[in-house]
Chains A and B, each alone.
Chain A
Amino acid sequence: MRRRAANATGEPPVRMYHVSKSYMAGQYALHDVSLEVRRGEFVFLTGASGAGKTTLLELIFAAEEPSEGQILVLGRNVARLGASAIPALRRHVGVVFQDFKLLEDRTVEENVRLALDVIGTPRRDARSRVFGLLKSVGLQHRRFHHPRSLSGGEQQRVALARALVNEPEILLADEPTGNLDPDLTIEIMDLIVKASTRGTTVMVATHDHSLIERYGKRVLRLDGGRIVEDVPAMGAALGGGP
């Protein structure tokens, strides 16, 4: 397996200390948030729109810089990362969005391969890994299709395959099932949960309470940019692991 250095020491892959993010003076998208997420843990972020779920995820994959506080992702201080170090961090962090963010002019295989292309993975290796990933999400037969010919659920599975093809240590998903019907929602969530059982740390932002209840994972509830509730996973409450 690849790159597990940061966690080999048992350090939590995501740590935040008194982190705030403000876009305008006096108005916080995130306010004094501190948290730790352990390796392989699955965490739901929930809360109303504007509660700060997306901002929290953006801070973790360095799309935004914190206004205050420290964020350690895989042992790296995100607040101090130079522009040239951000790509290296992102190669360890897979991200999935509600709107899939697929390239319409590329095939399913090419879309998934992007994450391998950027690190110069030889074509043959890349193809076999993409095939394996697409097989695991049930889309190997669609690899030469373009995204527009796929259903929403299939597109999200492609996006998930792209996020996972690089074997990231962290998977972030921002409302990954927001555009999907209930059956497809479960299908996608099962795939994400499966990734966490292989040791990937997963954080999923959602306001779908049925999902939270169904999977019984740790829940961080945000309100007004603050964490107002941290509910441990059901298994953890009973003394089990994440």
Chain B
Amino acid sequence: MNRVFVLIGLAFSNALRGIRSASTTSLMAVLTIAIVLVLVGGAALLVHNMSSILDEFGTELQLTAYLEEGLSEAEQRDLVERVAAAPGVERVELVTKEMALERFVEIAGSEALLAGLEENPLPASLEIQLRPEARTAEAIGILEASLDGLPGIDDFAQGREWIEGYARAVSMVRIGVVAIAIVLGMAALLIVANTIRLALYARQDELEILALVGASRTFVRVPFLLEGTLQGLLGGALALFVVWGAFEWLQPQLREGLELVVGRAELHFFTTAEALWLVVSGAALGLAGSIMALVGGRT
């Protein structure tokens, strides 16, 4: 057992010696992994936040049905009851023409905009609150279709299309991030493999001497695997630090911009587990690169 610990210790010290003796190429490998993971991690963080904004929309999602002009109070009340009975509907609130006007004036801050109009141009509407499970663009579409035939309903607010478009954009960006991660990951893999291969050639004399004194293949190979893994780990940690720095730096401006566009926005950094994943991805890239180098190398 003691020998196993000695061999593990030696593997680590040989790996560190390898990194020190080829510090420039090691640094290049670390930076390559860091750059790749900054790009992939940054994009993942973007998708992560886009998705959470989408989720927030979902919780506030309601459907607005505009009513035809000239409906009597009884007809309006009848519509409220019929809509409330539709699947996925939690609550229905009638907003009369007068209430709509009051809201408009409240939002606009004055009645000046309506000064030239002889009558209230705002339609009465039904604000339909949805049950949590029905707060998706698809469910709203189904509900819309079922309510569309009801007499008295003129039109629906266009929120659904906007949300659908946004959800499509999120899913496209997500696919894009995965594609970029694969391409950049492959590039990083090749660069790490090349770095380790260069280290193998640079240390050919050492490998020859190790073989002469009876070093097993494992004894020779493990330090190289550790070297790649350590480089990856460093690259991952560096990437996490850069992504975090950029996030902290950009967050105030981004939040301000988002508040203008979507009303309010909470931006989130990675959770601890997600942040660890980024660092572990770096280590995995480094390890995979080393394996590639050793499979093709002469050890």
A contacts, CB < 8 Å to B: 61, 83-84, 87-91, 95, 101-103, 105, 114-115, 117-123, 162, 166
B6 near A114: Cβ-Cβ < 8 Å: no
The 4 A-B pairs with the shortest beta carbon distances in the complex, nearest first, are A120-B3, A91-B214, A90-B214, A118-B215
A-B contact pairs, 20 of them (CB 8 A): A84-B216, A87-B211, A87-B214, A87-B215, A87-B217, A89-B214, A90-B213, A91-B214, A105-B17, A105-B21, A114-B213, A117-B6, A118-B213, A118-B214, A118-B215, A120-B2, A120-B3, A120-B6, A120-B10, A122-B3
A166 and B214 CA atoms in complex are apart in Å by 10
- Which of chain A's residues have a CB closer than 8 A to the CB of B217? 83-84, 87
Does B86 sit at the interface, judged by CB under 8 A?
no
Does B7 sit at the interface, judged by CB under 8 A?
yes
B contacts, CB < 8 Å to A: 2-4, 6-7, 10, 17, 21, 205-206, 208-217, 219
Consensus secondary structure, chain B interface:
helix
A162 and B210 CA atoms in complex are apart in Å by 11
Closest A residue to B208 by CB, please name it.
A101
Closest B residue to A61 by CB, please name it.
B212
Closest B residue to A91 by CB, please name it.
B214
- Which of chain A's residues have a CB closer than 8 A to the CB of B206? 103
- Which of chain A's residues have a CB closer than 8 A to the CB of B17? 105
CB distance from B205 to the nearest CB of A (A): 7
A129 and B75 CA atoms in complex are apart in Å by 103
A145 and B200 CA atoms in complex are apart in Å by 26
B216 near A118: Cβ-Cβ < 8 Å: yes
A87 and B10 CA atoms in complex are apart in Å by 17
- Which of chain B's residues have a CB closer than 8 A to the CB of A89? 214
A120 contacts which of B4, B210, B211, B212 (Cβ < 8 Å)? Answer: B4
- Which of chain A's residues have a CB closer than 8 A to the CB of B2? 120, 122
A83 and B10 CA atoms in complex are apart in Å by 22
CB distance from B155 to the nearest CB of A (A): 78
B205 near A103: Cβ-Cβ < 8 Å: yes
- Which of chain A's residues have a CB closer than 8 A to the CB of B215? 87, 118
Given contact pairs A105-B21, A120-B4, enumerate 5 new A-B contacts (beta carbons under 8 Å). Answer: A88-B214, A95-B212, A101-B212, A102-B209, A103-B205
Closest A residue to B3 by CB, please name it.
A120
A118 and B207 CA atoms in complex are apart in Å by 12
State whether A166 and B213 are in contact (beta carbons under 8 Å apart), knowing that A101-B205, A103-B206, A118-B219 are contacts in the complex: yes
Interface centre among A95, A101, A118, A121 (most CB of B within 10 A): A118
- Which of chain B's residues have a CB closer than 8 A to the CB of A120? 2-4, 6-7, 10
CB distance from A96 to the nearest CB of B (A): 10
